[in-house]
Structure 1
Amino acid sequence: MVMSIVNVALPAIRTGLGFAPDQLSWVVNAYSLVFGGLLLLGGRAADVYGQRRLLVSGAVVFAVASLGGALAQSPVQMIVARVVQGLGAAALAPAALAILTTTQREGRERTRALGVYAAVSAVGGAAGVLFGGLLTEYGGWRWVMLVNVPMALAVVWLAMRHIPQGASGGGRRLDVLGGILGTGGVGLLVLGVVRTNEYAWTSGMTLGTLAGAVVLLVAFVMVETRPSATDPLVRFGLLARRSVGGANLFMLLVCAGQFAGFYFVSLYLQQVLEMKPVAAGTAFLPFCAGMIAGSAVSTRLLGTLGSKALLVPGGLLAAVGFGWFGLISASGSFVADILGPSLVAGFGIGVCFVPPTGAATSGLAPHEAGMASALLNSARQIGGAIGLAALVTVQVRHTEDGLAAGDAPKEAMTSGFGLGLGLAGAILAVAALTAAFVLPSRARETAAAPAAAPSDRAGAPATEARQ
């Protein structure tokens, strides 16, 4: 909901605070960068210090940051508020998913719970775009940030009342060095891609930033896999399992396409079709209805068909939907250009939500639930941030080229948005191929489940790494 409610308000935020066109995506990316960069640390902190404690702490930080965003008077202040929001979310999100996976038994009970989790996420997306439009048009864009405050405080109250304190990590320590290297590496990677709006891919600034990211990430892997690492931030034996590694890669690609798609469609509705915020928010409802329907179907069929049999057609449907979005025209309409692709893409994305969560968290010991949840959430946010940054760079330059060639502003913008949406569809097609060739079949997935429980030791058994 945090992402969708802000997307609808982007044009109003741009006008209210004076964002330049090529800087507006920072309202989204500042949040995604910090959220994605700190998720691994937040997930492991939930394992070490207790899941409820991290959930409550993250919600409090998120509430304070949201209030700061509502009071922002400049682009810098808004970006800082979004950075702190990302910090709070990095503690809150993996703790919430870890609580879900550790309190539900594996099998039908957990599948049903994960289905509800995915459906609620879809409902949150629907509520976000609708309420974002209502709040922006009738209350002003500041209410889009302010509304998060009571919701975050409600999370604190509910967690304190209904979630047991639970045990802490039982003597385990937080891997601070791994956290610094991992967070720094992921942060530099996302930053390097995000700033390609300002610096070319071949510029010294971009190449230097990406090189720094590679150095830090290589050092991170070396630190996490050293023999003396008793409590690593990430146990890479998890990713060596095809179900876990494939689920994370699939989710990274899906979110790379989806985040960018939401961004471009929101701007197309308001800047080309000239819809007001309420109408633009309402226009997203078919997409979110498709997500809810897809999540429900996926939940019902997952136990029978397995992850792979759902993710391949789900990814292909989403790819077709976003490719269809790429055919938008400057003289288009909601019925002709938005309704059909929204239903197709939304249903496909909805089908893709539940299976990766189950595959990435099944068969784990309770003390590693936060780690696995953080890995999956990191894949979502890092994929979303990198996909959005890369496709916005392509869209902005294509639009500028069109304007330089003499195209009318709406024609140039539509052409840029259409290109970005078409590329988002291509990324989703790659996600479907990833599911087809990386994820294990239903038979292998079932056979591997009993052996999925991880070792408490830093190094995974050799047999596990070959799964």
Structure 2
Amino acid sequence: MTAQAPDTAAVSASPQTAPRLGLVLTVCCLAQFLVTLSVAVVNIALPAIQSSLGFSASSLQWVVNAYTITFAGFLLLGGRIADLFGRRRIFLAGIALFTLASLVGGISQNSGTLVTARAVQGLAAAVIAPTTLAVLGTTFTDPHQRHKAFGAWGAVSGAGGAFGALAGGVLTDQLSWRWILFINIPIGVVLFAGVAWVITELRHEGSGKRLDVPGAVAVTAGLLVLVLGIVQSGPHGWDSAQTLVPLVAGLLLIGVFVLIEGRFAAEPLMPLGIFRSRSVTAANVVAMTSGAALFGTFYFLTLFLHQVRDYSPLRTGFAYLPLAVSIMVAAQFSAALVRRTGARVTLVAGMTLTAGGLLWLAFLDENSTFAAAVLGPTIVLGAGQGISMAASAIAGVAGVPPHQAGLASGLLNATRQLGGALGLAVLAALATTHVKDLLDGAKPTAQLLRHAYASGYALAFGVAAGLAAVGVIAAFAAPGKPGN
């Protein structure tokens, strides 16, 4: 992906262009809000969707993963298309496609249509998300302003997910689960008008316009098949052919993707040389583990509150408010922390808080109340996520040559979504197997079901804490404060 030198008229940081800069930041943050909202808003409605469209316990996660996998798999291609054919034009196309897919998903009458619509949403998001970061990176040329812009972007990224949970609860409880998709339509219309008004066109003017479609297809297919294998482990076991065949096939396809990028692609989506940057590598590992932590939290905490504590969708949505506020507040301080202490200290602090919050949630049981066992850990987790999201966005493009800025930003988004998809698949498989083992041969009373579900979800939180701890270790490889 090639990011070009920005149009000076569009990126000037002079006082005369400050209002325009504010509008660009608003549009980019709203677009990122739409993308992240569409992950969490669905989680709250999962029980209602399962009942309405007949999803099984193991297939329900495809409502989430159909979106995240196509999102992750096509992110780099989406950014590349925007670089080559015009960020404004492709930005508008992505918003239009996202809005249309939301309409189709909202009126779907079966599980297949809904999953397909979610996959198309993910494809559109793969165009929107990298464009937001690339536009910010090329518009805000002053380092201080850029850090503040990335801080705002990070706050919206996290809070969009957390407030999506509240919106999902309100819409599902008061209207229908279908409105979690219909709500995207007015947002999409406003966003389309905003992009058309304030975003200036920017494209690569070179003659070569080659797209690495084989690479994008290979990585997306590999992720889909790999997640399918993980999902199959629940009902069939890890040693079954139904599990092993797709796992092996998925790993082979991902290997093909690496081979395409390293040997055959004339203009690879992911030039492997970018990982020579210690900052880029550390930021992407943090993003991957952070994505697994946050996606897992939304999924399992929703199920815990609904199935174990009998929360309504509306009450569940309100339960996410402390997490949302914590993310937003912490993200506002992240950029300042990076400037004062460096990316390394900031990322270590953020991921340590994330791991601590998840470990605290691992002690949930069927008698746990919100005030005693959910409120504290979600605030800690939110603070960690708010700090690490903005800091990883800054570290992920630090020291990257200007012509690779778009690649670096798209890669960061891709690894976050990849971590979320694979992490959710693994955690769901472990939780499902654990619940199945606890219920095997026993009379499924209401009390036993609550105990089994709580135990399975607590296990998932514990494993997620371990994944976040990997992010802590990776954060130590990020660059320290300049001059130290």
Match of 1:83 in 2: 119
- Match for residue 182 of structure 1 among 219, 238, 251: 219
Match of 2:449 in 1: 409
Match of 1:270 in 2: 306
Question: Tell me, what secondary structure is at the counterpart of 2:365?
Answer: coil
Shift of 1:84: 0.9
What is the identity, as a one-letter code, of the residue corresponding to 1:430?
V
Deviates more, 1:124-133 or 1:217-226: 217-226
Note if 1:20 corresponds to 2:59. no
Shift of 1:201: 2.7
Deviates more, 1:187-196 or 1:387-396: 187-196
Note if 1:201 corresponds to 2:238. yes
What is the identity, as a one-letter code, of the residue corresponding to 1:196?
S
Question: Tell me, what secondary structure is at the counterpart of 2:58?
Answer: helix
Note if 1:115 corresponds to 2:151. yes
Identity %: 39
Q: 1:169 to 1:394 in 2, by over 3 A?
A: farther
Give the gaps of 5 or more residues in structure 2.
Answer: 1-36
Deviates more, 1:266-275 or 1:42-51: 42-51
Shift of 1:417: 0.9
Offset from partner CA, 1:74-120 (integer Å, 9 cap, x none):
11111111111111111111111111111111521111100011112
Note if 1:441 corresponds to 2:480. yes
Aligned residues: 443
- Match for residue 72 of structure 1 among 108, 120, 128: 108
- How far apart, CA to CA, are the structure 2 residues paired with 1:106 and 1:82? 38
Q: 1:3 to 1:434 in 2, by over 3 A?
A: same
Q: Is the Cα–Cα contact under 8 Å of residues 50 and 169 in structure 1 kept in the other structure? A: no
What is the identity, as a one-letter code, of the residue corresponding to 1:442?
K
Q: 1:213 to 1:125 in 2, by over 3 A?
A: closer
Match of 1:97 in 2: 133
Shift of 1:199: 4.2
Shift of 1:219: 3.1
- How far apart, CA to CA, are the structure 2 residues paired with 1:204 and 1:218? 21
Offset from partner CA, 1:384-439 (integer Å, 9 cap, x none):
01110001011111111112253711111111111111111111112111112x32
Match of 1:8 in 2: 44
Match of 2:99 in 1: 63
- Match for residue 310 of structure 1 among 346, 349, 365: 346
- How far apart, CA to CA, are the structure 1 residues paired with 2:178 and 2:202? 37
Match of 2:371 in 1: 335
- How far apart, CA to CA, are the structure 2 residues paired with 1:239 and 1:224? 13
Offset from partner CA, 1:317-351 (integer Å, 9 cap, x none):
11111111111121222111211111111111111
Where does 1:287-366 land on structure 2 (aligned, <5 Å)? 287-366=323-402
Q: Is the Cα–Cα contact under 8 Å of residues 342 and 479 in structure 2 kept in the other structure? A: no
- Match for residue 462 of structure 2 among 398, 405, 422: 422
What is the identity, as a one-letter code, of the residue corresponding to 2:462?
G
- How far apart, CA to CA, are the structure 1 residues paired with 2:231 and 2:128? 24
Q: Is the Cα–Cα contact under 8 Å of residues 341 and 480 in structure 2 kept in the other structure? A: no
Match of 2:272 in 1: 236
Q: Is the Cα–Cα contact under 8 Å of residues 279 and 395 in structure 2 kept in the other structure? A: yes
Deviates more, 1:190-199 or 1:381-390: 190-199
Offset from partner CA, 1:237-271 (integer Å, 9 cap, x none):
21121100111111101111221121110111111
Q: 1:312 to 1:274 in 2, by over 3 A?
A: same
Note if 1:218 corresponds to 2:218. no
What is the identity, as a one-letter code, of the residue corresponding to 1:23?
S
- How far apart, CA to CA, are the structure 2 residues paired with 1:376 and 1:294? 20
Shift of 1:441: 2.8
Deviates more, 1:322-331 or 1:383-392: 322-331
Deviates more, 1:55-64 or 1:355-364: 355-364
What is the identity, as a one-letter code, of the residue corresponding to 2:456?
G
Match of 2:426 in 1: 390
Q: Is the Cα–Cα contact under 8 Å of residues 69 and 220 in structure 2 kept in the other structure? A: no
Q: Is the Cα–Cα contact under 8 Å of residues 47 and 368 in structure 1 kept in the other structure? A: no
Offset from partner CA, 1:305-325 (integer Å, 9 cap, x none):
111101112111111111111
What is the identity, as a one-letter code, of the residue corresponding to 2:381?
A
What is the identity, as a one-letter code, of the residue corresponding to 2:77?
L
Question: Tell me, what secondary structure is at the counterpart of 2:211?
Answer: coil
TM-score, normalised on structure 2? Answer: 0.87
Match of 2:89 in 1: 53
Q: 1:157 to 1:212 in 2, by over 3 A?
A: same
What is the identity, as a one-letter code, of the residue corresponding to 1:441?
G
Deviates more, 1:248-257 or 1:180-189: 180-189
Deviates more, 1:160-169 or 1:374-383: 160-169
Offset from partner CA, 1:94-149 (integer Å, 9 cap, x none):
11111111111152111110001111223322321111111000011110111011
Where does 1:112-151 land on structure 2 (aligned, <5 Å)? 112-151=148-187
Q: Is the Cα–Cα contact under 8 Å of residues 196 and 390 in structure 1 kept in the other structure? A: no
What is the identity, as a one-letter code, of the residue corresponding to 2:163?
A
Note if 1:38 corresponds to 2:78. no
